Amino acid sequence: MTSPGLSLRAFDAGGARLFDIAVPAVWPGGPEPRWPEGVIALGGGSGFRERMGITPDMTLPAKLDSIGGRLELVLQEAGAERVVNEVDYGAHGALPPAPGASLEWTPDGFVPDERPIPSNSNGENARSECLGACADRNRRVGGASRQPH
């Protein structure tokens, strides 16, 4: 079951709206949608499938602000709308993740996940072995010497 009328809104660090898109049918329904408990809804840009090998549940129409911003889950019902839940990231919220990383929900709130394994609502995992921060690897240079890279 899904809650009709759900949308995801994104704002930049200055509060300007970046986009407002309908949330797909993968979101669990009920009288009060909860975010992020038990929800897998993967969002990504237009090139996400080519880069990661899986299709996102939502194609985001714009990039999120890397400095900070806010995401809101908005429910529209009976001609009115209300913010059901929101997450701030950046200066006034969770630390923004590094490029290639993501925010992960923990009992202490959202924290950066430096080595995410994105999956969509169909249970498909991204094909990349190294997203975000990768473990140091050694390589041989000129025979026996090793240098981390």
Label residue 56 by pLDDT band (50, 70, 90).
confident
Structural domain for 26, as ranges: 6-148
CA–CA dist 109, 4 (Å, integer)? 26
Number of domains in the chain: 1
Q: Answer yes or no: is 45 within a domain.
A: yes
Q: Answer yes or no: is 124 within a domain.
A: yes
pLDDT digits (tens, 9 = 90+) for 71-122: 898 888 888 998 988 888 887 787 777 766 777 767 777 777 777 777 777 7
DSSP 48: H
Q: In what order do the strands lie in the sheet with 17-22?
A: 17-22, 6-12, 69-77, 80-89
54, pLDDT greater than 90 = no
Q: Answer yes or no: is 85 within a domain.
A: yes
CA–CA dist 124, 132 (Å, integer)? 18
Q: Evaluate whether 52 touches 126 at the Cβ level (below 8 Å).
A: yes
Q: Answer yes or no: is 1 within a domain.
A: no
Decide the pairing of beta strands 80-89 and 138-141: unpaired
Q: Answer yes or no: is 142 within a domain.
A: yes
Q: Answer yes or no: is 18 within a domain.
A: yes
1, pLDDT greater than 90 = no
CA–CA dist 124, 120 (Å, integer)? 6
Q: Answer yes or no: is 107 within a domain.
A: yes
